[in-house]
């Protein structure tokens, strides 16, 4: 797969999706190095936008999620699917500036909490 991607000389963001589709539908995943058995029994599950197990936000990057699309909930900062249910997994959250900052703050807090709990566990007392 790396060779095929290198052969495309694609530099655009997102061109890997087209490459993966091509490799799958052309049958090239079935052979490795053009000769040896490669990946078989590949199953493709269409995800759709805003209604599947993974909510992919990349296609929505032309407007703020909260303002235009309405899928970033006010008050909770949770991402919802089109039907209003909370998204299980949000892919490419960094495409929305506000959501990126919300997630960065959450991740920083998780890392901080982890190190506090690790210090407590190893020393028997809480350190700051």
Chain segment 26-47, per-residue pLDDT in tens? 777 776 665 666 676 767 666 6
pLDDT, mean of residues 101-105:
94
Residue 110 has pLDDT above 90, yes or no: yes
3-state secondary structure the chain: CHHHHHHHCCCCCCHHHHHHHHHHHCCHHHEECCCEECCCCCCCCCCCCCCCCEEECHHHCCCCHHHHHCCECCCCCCEECCCCCECCEEECHHHCHHHHHHHHHHHHHHHHHHHHHHHHHHHCCCCC
Select the highest-mean-pLDDT range: 31-35, 48-52, 76-80.
Answer: 76-80
Task: Note the pLDDT tens digit of each residue in 65-75.
Answer: 888 677 898 88
Q: How much is the pTM?
A: 0.60
Structure confidence at residue 43 (pLDDT): 72
């Amino acid at each position: 797969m790396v060779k095929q991607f290198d052969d495309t000389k694609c530099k655009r963001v997102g061109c890997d999706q087209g490459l993966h589709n091509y490799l799958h539908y052309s049958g090239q995943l079935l052979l490795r190095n053009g000769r040896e058995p490669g990946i078989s029994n590949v199953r493709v599950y269409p995800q759709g936008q805003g209604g599947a197990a993974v909510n992919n936000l990349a296609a929505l990057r032309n407007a703020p999620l909260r303002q235009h699309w309405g899928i970033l909930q006010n008050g909770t900062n949770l991402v919802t699917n089109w039907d209003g249910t909370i998204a299980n997994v949000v892919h490419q959250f960094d495409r929305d500036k506000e959501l990126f900052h919300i997630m960065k703050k959450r991740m920083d807090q998780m890392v901080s909490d982890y190190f506090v709990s690790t210090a407590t566990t190893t020393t028997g007392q809480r350190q700051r």
